[in-house]
Amino acid sequence: MLDHGFVRVIDYMGDDSSIVQAARVSSGSGTKSAEENRRLIRYLMRHAHTSPFEMCEIKLHIKLPIFVARQWIRHRTASVNEYSGRYSVLGRDYYIPRPDVVAVQSTSSRQGRGEALPYADANEVVGMIGRNADEAYRTYERLLDGSTDPIRPGLARELARTVLPVGFYTEWYWKIDLHNLLHFLELRLATDAQYEIRAYAEQVAAIVAGWVPLTYEAFVDYRLSGVRLSRAAAVAISEALTGVHVRRQENGLTDSEWKDLKERFGFVEDDRA
Amino acid sequence: MLDHGFVRVIDYMGDDSSIVQAARVSSGSGTKSAEENRRLIRYLMRHAHTSPFEMCEIKLHIKLPIFVARQWIRHRTASVNEYSGRYSVLGRDYYIPRPDVVAVQSTSSRQGRGEALPYADANEVVGMIGRNADEAYRTYERLLDGSTDPIRPGLARELARTVLPVGFYTEWYWKIDLHNLLHFLELRLATDAQYEIRAYAEQVAAIVAGWVPLTYEAFVDYRLSGVRLSRAAAVAISEALTGVHVRRQENGLTDSEWKDLKERFGFVEDDRA
Amino acid sequence: MLDHGFVRVIDYMGDDSSIVQAARVSSGSGTKSAEENRRLIRYLMRHAHTSPFEMCEIKLHIKLPIFVARQWIRHRTASVNEYSGRYSVLGRDYYIPRPDVVAVQSTSSRQGRGEALPYADANEVVGMIGRNADEAYRTYERLLDGSTDPIRPGLARELARTVLPVGFYTEWYWKIDLHNLLHFLELRLATDAQYEIRAYAEQVAAIVAGWVPLTYEAFVDYRLSGVRLSRAAAVAISEALTGVHVRRQENGLTDSEWKDLKERFGFVEDDRA
Amino acid sequence: MLDHGFVRVIDYMGDDSSIVQAARVSSGSGTKSAEENRRLIRYLMRHAHTSPFEMCEIKLHIKLPIFVARQWIRHRTASVNEYSGRYSVLGRDYYIPRPDVVAVQSTSSRQGRGEALPYADANEVVGMIGRNADEAYRTYERLLDGSTDPIRPGLARELARTVLPVGFYTEWYWKIDLHNLLHFLELRLATDAQYEIRAYAEQVAAIVAGWVPLTYEAFVDYRLSGVRLSRAAAVAISEALTGVHVRRQENGLTDSEWKDLKERFGFVEDDRA
């Protein structure tokens, strides 16, 4: 993952059949055919019956930059054991973006990237990030080892680490149930998620697709590639489908909702005055 | 469990070694001997480093009376799939206490039991509970089947079930991590927990003792059979150990704290005026 | 609420402006006009930026039947203090449905109600439920008071209560943040929620509408009255809008999805072979 | 707080009387005198009846270094809105320890500080930390502004921030209920917590002491200044109190437990062979 990261599966509990099994406790019904299992999982996903998906659990070992970890930890329903910079010396690995993802600040969104920089400029950026990190790590080592007289026997690790940039890597064990993992994926696979965490989310998604294929298929169909329509958007579509001319000014849709409708559905509005 | 209940393990993830493994991610240290593992687990338990215990997970299938389920569900950190009385017809099983646990209201505690009733009286109580449950279930069946003209095709299950007492059994899958499970056990094995849920907690404790023996041993030593002293109690003990006469009126201990100290430690107070 | 229940507000923290305030901490921007606040709240709701809604909190005192409480408690992110049947004697109030909501089991859904019963039959049902509850409460009282010689001083309350049906009322304080409250409302205002909890959800919704009107309006527009389309449904609509004949057999939509599309959008499928 | 931080109260809900009120819902009893309220709160604290404490809520605005925020966020039961380095430019403030808390790595604990450095050496450390932070911030600004031809219009903020050390300050709104706040305080006021987060915990504790004085007093007496004894330690104390010679080799206590007993209780062991 990225330049020095990884995601590896340590352990898991349950699979697609465990979800079916749990759902059937609720409904008091027995085992069924494979096709009925698929249909049941899709039904649960479609109707947001989330508790059976909590019956599966996965534990991952992840190495990731601190700024990614800071986004990741906001998902509060997981269990975490992180490498401690108080207890141990942190490694030398830091994140350097590949030149093709070194991009300017987006002008259309306040929290995103626009165009990639030209290769030479991207390289210049990469160089600046690298030099900054190397310099910080050298400071970290000097603070730690105390060999530089007179700092003896070396600064406390918990203080020395404060000089390291958030681009440095950390590691953790992360354990989460499948329902909450799908929620994590929905948010972190989204196009407005930062590229670096999205890269991890894609790897985690591939793991999920292999682990619980029926659930992952239903997740893609009903959540990831599905669409949420507001009341006004649903009305606009309904009118358009029944041949009514939809006029924007009579409708509560915002600019961005109109834009979404047009892009997603080839929607044509009647903009005659 | 009780007369019609059960607790059975459906699945689990991890064991004592997973706790050690997770703790060593935090500290960055490698594998060790069995004795060191035991010592590490005891250290984690003693110092309330709880996150490594979250790395183990267990899923149980439990059949239990509704009033027990209502206490149990207050532990919010678990995942639950319960048999649905909206979806399916509820079974005929209800809880009848064994005569030796049919007891009067405690006079010393507002929320507990006192002495067991004499056998004949207990039997009378058991009979009253049983007749009440049988009568309720007959009403439930009559409401459901609609065969009693003119209730056709039978009352909705979600309404009919409202006549059933909380002594009837329900079933669920319950999945929880080991840290939260130990918290459940600490509360529900306590002497002031209701007998019926304590009986389940004891069975769950036996399962835990077999699953993660080092953790369970540490749990018993540091939490279950340990003692929490208030500041004032700690001062009183400290004074007594150093030969000071401890006088109750000079100390902020409540009556029940004095009583606990005496019972637990054979504590002698100096009650000269 | 229902025949003996209530929902009353004990306390709350924050309002629409607190949500705006919290969102602006994230974005580092200052205060704005009322119209901009409304737009920001709608933006947050539309894009599922949920954390600012967690900054509001409400505490309710609720009296509700036990079977409703059992559904309600499944929302784990709230804090609860419930009246204890171990500690105190439970009251005589139980739930009797109004005749117009006494309905047969649904034939189209396994977990719902169909047609209301004719008035005379509904009255018969009401009578059966009432007699069952009265009988149970008499048993409860006899077990408790011990006046029936020789049960003296009366059975423990924690045991006696096991004879009471789940239609009896309980009371609790319930405290939850606004984000999780909206999730509760979305699930419990849905047409497939049981009528009795839906009635409470409607009252809670009215409280929320008065407390945070901008948030509630956005919630209705984007979540409650919005539509979630699966990938296949979105493709079908897109094709229909651009004049393509949509044929069911070429599409992964289930029967119930087709039905939803038709009802919601007046969707016409091309069913020529 | 520290050099550039702060903790300020934005809002709160409830106080000591709300805890009493909630506890009395559970027990069905009415209002009482002030002294009885104090006794009830102490009873709840002593017996770990935690749910009434969840009925109070507080919202704080906190400015804190990122490395402190990373420890803080591990308390998962709170709500957080953090200033976003993707959305806005981060400020220039970073943490520089006061010379008297610049300490060497502890030799007795793997995760702590030992002696403070001599003043001159501490100053040297402070200088290194400051130069490192200044240099990083200069790199950040150069990446952002793009004025260095040809980086135009400036690197995306979400990438540029990766060069900033974890000693830089961030800000957030943090909202938590009182029960979970006390748990936070118990862990973060402990002597083995890192000095910097302990400094914040002390300020938060002062806020709590002013907000809910009865609760805070009980918290100090029963939890913060209380003692947890293991089973073996309780047995050792019990024996010592009754005049038995306690021999270490016959007892399961670890070295550090013996040490604690001696320090806390002036405990004398009988070490005759």
For residue D175, the domain's CATH number is: 3.30.1360.170
- Distance from the Cα of B163 to chain A's closest Cα (Å) equals 20
| Interface test with chain D among B185, B237, B254, B269, by most D beta carbons within 10 Å | B237
Based on the domain organization, do C177 and C90 belong to the same domain? yes
pLDDT at B160 over 90: yes
Q: Residue D96: which pLDDT band, with cuts at 50, 70 and 90?
A: very high
Report the pLDDT value the prediction gives residue C260, as an integer from 0 to 100. Answer: 84
pLDDT at A249 over 80: no
Q: Residue D157: which pLDDT band, with cuts at 50, 70 and 90?
A: very high
- In SS3 terms, chain D reads as CCCCCEEEEEEEECCHHHHHHHHHHHHCCCCCCHHHHHHHHHHHHHCCCCHHHHHCEEEEEEEEEHHHHHHHCCCCCCEEEECCCCCCCCCCCECCCCHHHCEEECCCCCCCEEEECCHHHHHHHHHHHHHHHHHHHHHHHHHHHCCCCCCCCCECHHHHHHHCECCEEEEEEEEEEHHHHHHHHHHHCCCCCCHHHHHHHHHHHHHHHHHCHHHHHHHHHHHHCCEEECHHHHHHHHHHHCCCCCCHHHCCCCHHHHHHHHHHHCCCCCCCC
Report the pLDDT value the prediction gives residue C271, as an integer from 0 to 100. Answer: 62
- Distance from the Cα of D239 to chain B's closest Cα (Å) equals 8
Whether A271 is in a domain gets the answer no
Residue B59 is nearest to which of A11, A55, A84, comparing CB atoms? A55
pLDDT at B243 over 90: no
Whether A180 is in a domain gets the answer yes
**Interchain contact B244–C (C-beta under 8 A):** no
Amino acid letter for position B84:
S
Based on the domain organization, do A36 and A79 belong to the same domain? yes
Residue D226 is nearest to which of B220, B222, B230, comparing CB atoms? B230
Residue A188 annotated as catalytic: yes
Own/partner long-range contacts of D128-132 (Cβ < 8 Å, ≥24 apart): D128/A139, D128/A142, D128/A143, D128/A163, D129/A139, D129/A143, D129/A162, D129/A163, D129/D94, D129/D96, D129/D97, D129/D167, D130/D94, D130/D96, D131/A139, D132/A135, D132/A136, D132/A139, D132/A163, D132/D165
Mean pLDDT computed over A149-172: 88
Report the pLDDT value the prediction gives residue C265, as an integer from 0 to 100. Answer: 83
**Chain C residues whose beta carbon lies within 8 Å of the beta carbon of residue D171:** 25
Chains with 3+ CB–CB pairs under 8 A to B are A, C, D
- Average pLDDT of chain A is 91
| B76 vs B273, residue with greater confidence | B76
Distances (CA, A) of A96 to A1, A91, C14, D67, D157: 12, 15, 42, 21, 15
Based on the domain organization, do B7 and B91 belong to the same domain? yes
**Chain A residues whose beta carbon lies within 8 Å of the beta carbon of residue C266:** 238, 241-242
Of D27, B74, B67, B54, the residue nearest C78 (C-alpha): B74
Residue D67 is nearest to which of A117, A146, A161, comparing CB atoms? A161
| Interface test with chain A among B12, B49, B56, B81, by most A beta carbons within 10 Å | B81
Whether C241 is in a domain gets the answer yes
Chains with 3+ CB–CB pairs under 8 A to A are B, C, D
Mean pLDDT computed over A23-37: 80
Report the pLDDT value the prediction gives residue B127, as an integer from 0 to 100. Answer: 96
Whether C271 is in a domain gets the answer no
Q: Residue B211: which pLDDT band, with cuts at 50, 70 and 90?
A: very high
pLDDT per position as a tens digit, B191-210: 999 999 999 999 999 999 99
| A82 vs D247, residue with greater confidence | A82
pLDDT at B161 over 90: yes
- Average pLDDT of chain B is 91
**Interchain contact B64–C (C-beta under 8 A):** no
Distances (CA, A) of D217 to B57, B229, B234, C221, D16: 37, 15, 16, 48, 11
Based on the domain organization, do C47 and C100 belong to the same domain? no
Report the pLDDT value the prediction gives residue D246, as an integer from 0 to 100. Answer: 75
Based on the domain organization, do D45 and D180 belong to the same domain? yes
Report the pLDDT value the prediction gives residue C148, as an integer from 0 to 100. Answer: 55
Report the pLDDT value the prediction gives residue C216, as an integer from 0 to 100. Answer: 98
**Chain D residues whose beta carbon lies within 8 Å of the beta carbon of residue B242:** 266
Size of interface B-C (CB pairs under 8 A): 175
**Lookup: tokens for C181:** 């409250």
Catalytic residue among A86, A131, A161, A188: A188
Which positions of C are annotated as active-site residues? 188
Distance CA D75, CA D176 (A): 10
| Interface test with chain C among B87, B113, B129, B132, by most C beta carbons within 10 Å | B132
Based on the domain organization, do D46 and D142 belong to the same domain? no
Whether B271 is in a domain gets the answer no
**Chain C residues whose beta carbon lies within 8 Å of the beta carbon of residue B74:** 73, 80
Distance CA B70, CA B77 (A): 15
pLDDT per position as a tens digit, B262-272: 888 877 776 66
Q: How many domains does chain C have?
A: 3
Based on the domain organization, do D105 and D195 belong to the same domain? no
* Count of other CB atoms within 10 angstroms of residue D104: 19
- Residue whose structure tokens are 């017809």: B89
Task: Note down the domain range covering B54.
Answer: 1-95+169-226
Report the pLDDT value the prediction gives residue B259, as an integer from 0 to 100. Answer: 85
Based on the domain organization, do B6 and B43 belong to the same domain? yes
Report the pLDDT value the prediction gives residue C20, as an integer from 0 to 100. Answer: 96
Q: Which among D125, D141, D166 is the end of a domain?
A: D166
Q: Model pTM?
A: 0.95
- In SS3 terms, chain A reads as CCCCCEEEEEEEECCHHHHHHHHHHHHCCCCCCHHHHHHHHHHHHHCCCCHHHHHCEEEEEEEEEHHHHHHHCCCCCCEEEECCCCCCCCCCCECCCCHHHCEEECCCCCCCEEEECCHHHHHHHHHHHHHHHHHHHHHHHHHHHCCCCCCCCCECHHHHHHHCECCEEEEEEEEEEHHHHHHHHHHHCCCCCCHHHHHHHHHHHHHHHHHCHHHHHHHHHHHHCCEEECHHHHHHHHHHHCCCCCCHHHCCCCHHHHHHHHHHHCCCCCCCC
Based on the domain organization, do A10 and A86 belong to the same domain? yes
Mean pLDDT computed over A186-209: 97
| Interface test with chain A among B173, B176, B179, by most A beta carbons within 10 Å | B173
Based on the domain organization, do A142 and A13 belong to the same domain? no
3-state secondary structure (DSSP) of residue B52? helix
Report the pLDDT value the prediction gives residue D153, as an integer from 0 to 100. Answer: 66
Minimal-distance CA residue of chain C relative to D179: C79
Whether D47 is in a domain gets the answer yes
Based on the domain organization, do D6 and D89 belong to the same domain? yes
Based on the domain organization, do C176 and C212 belong to the same domain? yes
Report CB contact under 8 Å: D221, B240: no
Whether D126 is in a domain gets the answer yes
What ipTM was predicted for this assembly? 0.93
Q: Residue A254: which pLDDT band, with cuts at 50, 70 and 90?
A: confident
Whether B272 is in a domain gets the answer no
Say how many residues make up chain A: 273
Residue A106 is nearest to which of D136, D150, D156, comparing CB atoms? D156
Comparing A53-57, A198-202, D166-170, D250-254, the range with the smallest average pLDDT is: D250-254
**Chain D residues whose beta carbon lies within 8 Å of the beta carbon of residue B39:** 254
Residue B237 is nearest to which of D221, D237, D242, comparing CB atoms? D237
**Chain A residues whose beta carbon lies within 8 Å of the beta carbon of residue D105:** 144, 153-157
% pLDDT > 90, chain C: 71
